């Protein structure tokens, strides 16, 4: 039994495509940026759905499709500004495709749906100006009566 090394782990993680290594992040791990790699998992009782879905999704602009890592699955890459896993899966279900409904798949789908929705919502919201926000709270604090205020006029205060 050979020992796992970082180099061997990278070899197993990466695959060759067109003679070049292609990095394939896990489909259900955090992925920074807007380009996402996801895995569509289909019901084991309908293996024909994998190829039918591949043909259907191949017609979408900006969508990359490859064999999935798990049996009866497809790996897809897309920009979340164009597609979401929730939208893609809903469209497939409307077309009569049967997805894997194991507890694991349902849980992972829900997490990915939430993460993509949150990322899209955050991308639409303008960045807050932190300095201005701080000024607003500082001014409100100055005008609010509280126990941290010295009523002694500045000319009568003694320096210690």
- For 85-111, the pLDDT digits (tens) are 999 999 999 999 999 999 999 999 999
Residues of the chain with pLDDT under 70: 1-2, 8-30, 127-134, 145-149, 159-160
> What pLDDT, on a 0 to 100 scale, did the predictor assign at position 31?
73
Q: Give CA torsion, residues 126, 121, 85, 36, to 10 deg.
A: 30
> What pLDDT, on a 0 to 100 scale, did the predictor assign at position 28?
63
> What pLDDT, on a 0 to 100 scale, did the predictor assign at position 33?
82
> What pLDDT, on a 0 to 100 scale, did the predictor assign at position 148?
64
Domains of the chain (ranges, CATH numbers): 13-143 (3.30.70.100)
> What pLDDT, on a 0 to 100 scale, did the predictor assign at position 70?
84
The rounded distance, in Å, linking the Cα atoms of 85 and 114 is 10
Tell me the three-class secondary structure of the chain, residue by residue. CCCCCHHHHHHHHCEEECCEEECCCCCCCCCCCCEEEEEEEECCCCCHHHHHHHHHHHCCCCCEEEECCCCCEEEEEEECCCCCHHHHHHHHHHCCCCECCCHHHHHHHHHHHHHHHHHHHHHHCCCCCHHHHHHHHHHHHHHCCCCCCCCCCHHHCCCC
> What pLDDT, on a 0 to 100 scale, did the predictor assign at position 4?
73
């Amino acid at each position: 039994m050979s020992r796992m090394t970082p180099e061997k782990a990278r070899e197993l993680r990466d695959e060759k495509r067109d003679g070049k290594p292609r990095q394939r992040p896990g489909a259900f791990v955090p992925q920074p940026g807007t380009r996402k790699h996801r895995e569509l998992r289909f019901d084991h009782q309908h293996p024909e759905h994998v190829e039918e879905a591949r043909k259907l999704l191949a017609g979408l602009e900006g969508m990359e499709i490859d064999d999935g890592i798990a049996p009866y699955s497809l790996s897809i890459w897309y920009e979340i500004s164009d597609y979401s896993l929730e939208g893609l899966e809903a469209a497939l279900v409307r077309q009569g495709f049967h997805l894997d409904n194991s507890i694991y798949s349902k849980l992972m789908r829900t997490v990915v749906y939430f993460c993509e929705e949150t990322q899209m919502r955050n991308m639409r919201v303008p960045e807050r100006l932190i300095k201005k926000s701080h000024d607003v709270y500082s001014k409100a604090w100055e005008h609010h009566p509280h126990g941290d205020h010295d009523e002694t006029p500045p000319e009568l205060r003694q320096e210690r």
